[in-house]
């Protein structure tokens, strides 16, 4: 779903043995052809030896030759070693994301309709500016996967929606589209009809109202991540 391009992904080798790698997903995001670091791995005995910097030193000229305009990645805010490594390459922190999980606390509400409908990238883009979402929660990613899309309809108006994985309770997107605090209650009530236990990653820290409603619904902010980017 992330659109990983193995032809533009890179590995570090020691005596012919793969000891580190960066898998790049390639797509146009925010109007720029972007290489998103979908996965990084370094063997324990090679950590702290600048393997990631060596990979990027090799990769960046090749990415630029292939008309990549920027590189992005996500890193746990407490992973200081990784942040230093990416900063040494030239990456800068651009966003702060908060991750949530837990069991929803909600009150049953009967006056709304929960619709299970199909969706496309165009549908989600029309509903919301997708730049608020991280790479793997973006419409261009999730519409390639096996997700279900639900609308909450109240008094004939679609007032909110959520996208959820068929198993595991992962919710890449949920949004209230009207200015009504009770709409959040109906959204969580509808979501709880599908599953009580949910996980939501990478909510932009600037969305303070959304974060407050997630916490009021009983979800715990268990992890934070930075988005970092580098323009080529």
CB 99 within 8 A of CB 139: no
Residues with Cβ within 8 Å of 1's Cβ and at least 6 positions away in sequence, in order, are 136, 141, 142, 144, 145
Instruction: Quote the pLDDT of residue 181.
Output: 84
Is residue 55 within 8 A of residue 12, CB to CB? The reply is: yes
Q: Provide the pLDDT for residue 28.
A: 96
Two tokens, residue 161:
């929606």
Buried b (16+ CB within 10 A) or exposed e, 112-140: bebeeeebeeeebeebeebebbbbbbbbb
Q: What DSSP letter does each residue of 108-150 carry, written as one string? A: ---SSEEEEE---HHHHHHHS-GGGS-GGGSHHHHTTSS-EEE
Q: What pLDDT was estimated at residue 14?
A: 95
Per the document, the length of the chain is: 232
Per residue in 167-207, pLDDT (tens digit) is: 899 999 999 999 988 999 999 999 999 998 999 999 999 99
**How do beta strands 70-76 and 32-42 pair?**
parallel
pLDDT for the residue numbered 39? 96
List the domains of the chain with CATH numbers. 6-90 (3.40.630.30), 100-224 (3.40.630.30)
Which residue ranges of the chain lie beneath pLDDT 70? none
For residue 231, give the DSSP letter: E
Question: Is 48 in contact with 209 (CB distance < 8 Å)?
Answer: no
The pTM is what?
A: 0.92
């Amino acid at each position: 779903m992330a659109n990983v391009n193995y032809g533009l992904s890179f590995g570090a080798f020691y005596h012919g043995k793969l000891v580190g790698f960066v898998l790049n997903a390639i797509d146009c995001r925010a109007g720029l052809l972007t290489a998103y670091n979908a996965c990084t791995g370094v063997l324990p005995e090679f950590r702290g030896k600048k393997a990631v910097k060596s990979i990027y030193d090799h990769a960046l000229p090749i990415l630029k030759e292939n008309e990549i305009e920027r590189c992005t990645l996500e890193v746990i805010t407490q992973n200081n070693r990784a942040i230093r490594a990416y900063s040494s390459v030239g990456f800068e922190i651009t966003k702060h994301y908060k991750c949530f999980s837990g069991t929803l606390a909600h009150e049953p509400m009967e006056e709304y309709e929960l619709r299970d409908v199909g969706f496309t990238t165009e549908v989600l883009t029309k509903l919301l500016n997708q730049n608020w979402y991280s790479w793997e929660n973006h419409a261009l990613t999730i519409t390639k996967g096996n997700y279900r899309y639900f609308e909450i309809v109240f008094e004939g108006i679609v007032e909110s929606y959520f996208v959820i994985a068929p198993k595991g309770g992962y919710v890449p997107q949920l949004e209230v589209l009207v200015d009504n605090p009770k709409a959040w209650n109906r959204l969580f009530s509808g979501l709880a009809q599908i599953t009580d236990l949910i996980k939501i990653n990478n909510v932009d820290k600037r969305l303070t109202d959304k974060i407050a409603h997630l916490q009021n619904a009983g979800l715990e902010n268990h992890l934070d991540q930075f988005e970092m980017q580098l323009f080529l």
